[in-house]
Structure 1
């Protein structure tokens, strides 16, 4: 990788490990194996480098989710594939974790790609849930937007429980719970045909 790529990837790792405040320019340079001159040749400073790293993380999250959202299967099956997709449960969602970094959230520029990525995720889930409702996989009264928000909130919250427990079990249980709720809300069966009248 070139120096710019080394710097971006090193910053991503350090943001994950230490947060924004703990990610110093010196630490980035040491992790990337470059000097101060090389760093400032490619980026204006720590904020610009952090923005590149956060934007890359958000783009990767979107690409990974979209691959499952566009895979074969019904809309609800694709939502299930996303929820059950392979991920590091103990580590949590990289984008969701950034949303818990007070310094990232306090900077409108750094905050923007995080907010946009989570809004995109909720929007894509809502689209699939709406399609599932139209196809009769889900009950007619289901609110796609509210359900998408609930799914996102449960996933993000389950990572906190998982880290506290030191086990991936709470995350797996949360996914099972979401899918059980969706499975319990199918469209009602069509009404039976009226009995024939007297001959």
Structure 2
């Protein structure tokens, strides 16, 4: 098997695990299901990973990296702080599937394992910190009034996105997510100068 084939199998295993974790959670993601979805044999799986926890960690890490990269692309783009945050909040998402990282917080097996929980915690800490930095930038430039608390507002924005996923899934309607975003942007606008 060539290097590209080996890399392809490893990537298929990670991608399949990411999808299955998103759809079924940790317990529902069996090694057999991963192998079937990745079209990889048991030998290939254990050649690349020590077992399911190792593969799950790689998959969770990849989902976390993608979330950060996609958010950062918008955060560091052009426009006012409000425009960049609005772009992040309104970007296209598979709302009814839920957040691939946020859903892991509802998985008791992931939350009980410090190694699996770490990339989830780090991702939300990064996201909250990055939003707080943007809001601080907006306050310093005069875009927002001095009464805006960047850390609290950043935490609220992350909570709106994650809570928006939950409410949308509960109602079966992506419109609920949009209303949550509209509400958050209205609160942010109240601090605009």
Query: TM > 0.5 between the two?
Result: yes
Distance (Å, rounded) in 2 between the aligned partners of 1:72 and 1:168? 27
- Runs of 4+ in structure 1 displaced over 4 angstroms? none
Q: Secondary structure at the match of 1:22?
A: coil
Alignment of 1:5-84 (within 5 A): 5-84=11-90
Report what 2:175 is aligned to.
Answer: 169
Alignment of 1:1-199 (within 5 A): 2-187=8-193
Distance (Å, rounded) in 1 between the aligned partners of 2:57 and 2:170? 29
- The Cα offsets for residues 85-109 of structure 1, whole Å up to 9 and x where unpaired, read as 1111112211111111111010000
Please identify which structure carries the higher helix content: 2
Q: Which runs of 5+ in 2 are unaligned?
A: 1-6
Equivalent residues of 2:13, 2:34 under 8 A apart: yes
Distance (Å, rounded) in 2 between the aligned partners of 1:39 and 1:80? 41
Moved more, 88-97 or 7-16: 88-97
Q: Which runs of 5+ in 1 are unaligned?
A: 188-199
- The Cα offsets for residues 138-194 of structure 1, whole Å up to 9 and x where unpaired, read as 11021100100011111111111101111111100011011111111124xxxxxxx
Distance (Å, rounded) in 1 between the aligned partners of 2:192 and 2:181? 18
- The Cα offsets for residues 109-149 of structure 1, whole Å up to 9 and x where unpaired, read as 00000100010000000000111111111110211001000
**Number of positions where the alignment pairs a residue of Structure 1 with one of Structure 2:** 187
**Higher alpha-carbon Rg:** 1
Q: Secondary structure at the match of 1:94?
A: coil
Q: Which TM-score applies when normalising by structure 2? A: 0.94
Distance (Å, rounded) in 1 between the aligned partners of 2:81 and 2:164? 23
Distance (Å, rounded) in 1 between the aligned partners of 2:151 and 2:14? 34
Q: Which TM-score applies when normalising by structure 1? A: 0.91
Distance (Å, rounded) in 2 between the aligned partners of 1:131 and 1:141? 14
Equivalent residues of 2:13, 2:38 under 8 A apart: yes
